[in-house]
Amino acid sequence: MRIYLSKAIQIKGKDWKIACDSTNSNYYPVVFYSHAHSDHIPRKLPKTDIITSKITQLLMRNFTSNFEEPTYHESYSQNNVHFKQKSSGHIVGSTALVIESSEGKVIYTGDVSIRDKGFLEPFKPEKCDSLIIESTFGTPGYVFPEYDETIKQTKEQISYYIEKNIPVVLMGYALGKAQMLYHSFSELSETIVMHGANYKINSLLMDENVAGSIPAIAYVDAKETELLEKKHDWILYTPLKSGRDAFFSYLKKKFNAKLFAFSGWCISPNYKFRMAVDYGVPISDHADFKELIEICEKCDPNQIYTIYGDNVRFAAELRKLGFNAHPLSKQTLLDSYF
């Protein structure tokens, strides 16, 4: 079996082959898409067999265009090789791929998290022969504080402002981080407003009753009806951008709004100053360094391939712990023998 990177992450057995999270529009007989973030899907989908979750399929239908309609599968079998999905715990609809064949068992995590966020099933590691794992926070410095405690402290800070009739702006990626924020903080105000992509994606998920979506008012409607001026105890959800952006400068000047940025990169002490926000909250939809190590230990594979982020450093850290680990890049071509 070969696992290699050539325009896409590819896994090739004796008489089968699959591409994972291909961001190009090349034709592959079978493709697995772990989730619908733009760095994991192409702009156009070729007519092929696609393994993905129903929620990711829904999102991809709205985020991509098609040459011709693909055929979607939740599970798939080919030449006595079985492909199945399990929750990766990353964002709504995200899944990992488990491949079982006579050549061994492979798990491709995609972006992954084993943290309990309250509305997503976390990734549950299982024994395998080869593990292909993300490395976004694959350096020892990226260890996040305890999730529930961070949410609790942030709730207290948001409540403090809402009770004083001071609005707050909660900034996070519109797909993934945003649903975590909706789930954790929306109960703190009766007036929930969403801007741009946040409102569009939330409406799409609301229509399908997807966990993590909530009732909300579009920012354009709130502005047109002057709702924001009439009542200042509102929460506005927006994509994550610099607080120096003209829109956020306007909100701070007109409403004295407080800006909260949510990102795993907030673990850096100067992050909130670089982003010009009032608070930087270190929560992520990715596993931190310790969690990535825990996944590897529980999967206990013969071979680990690290992908994305600091994959070279993470592979080196894994080798220190006795794992047979290598970074997967366009320069590497590795064989796994089971």
pLDDT tens per residue across span 68-90 = 789 999 999 998 999 999 999 99
Would the pLDDT of 337 be above 80?
no
Would the pLDDT of 16 be above 70?
yes
pLDDT value of residue 46: 86
pLDDT value of residue 330: 61
Judge contact between 288 and 137, C-beta under 8 A: yes
Q: Output the average pLDDT for the chain.
A: 94
Would the pLDDT of 138 be above 60?
yes
Judge contact between 311 and 325, C-beta under 8 A: no
pLDDT value of residue 66: 78
Would the pLDDT of 122 be above 60?
yes
pLDDT value of residue 69: 86
Q: So what CATH class is 147-281?
A: alpha beta
pLDDT digits (tens, 9 = 90+) for 163-218: 999 999 999 999 999 999 999 999 999 999 999 999 999 999 999 999 999 999 99
pLDDT digits (tens, 9 = 90+) for 41-56: 999 988 999 999 999 9
Q: What is the mean pLDDT of residues 298-314?
A: 97
Where do the CATH 3.60.15.10 domains begin and end in the chain?
2-141+286-335
Where do the CATH 3.40.50 domains begin and end in the chain?
147-281
Please give the biggest Cα pair distance in the chain: 67
Joined tokens for residue 58: 């829904």
Distance CA 64, CA 121 (A): 26
Question: In the chain, which ranges are continuous DSSP H helix?
Answer: 54-63, 147-163, 177-185, 197-207, 219-224, 227-230, 246-255, 271-275, 289-299, 311-320
| 207 φ, ψ (degrees, to nearest 5) | -60, -25
CATH number of 2-141+286-335: 3.60.15.10
Distance CA 131, CA 109 (A): 8
Amino acid, res. 308: Y
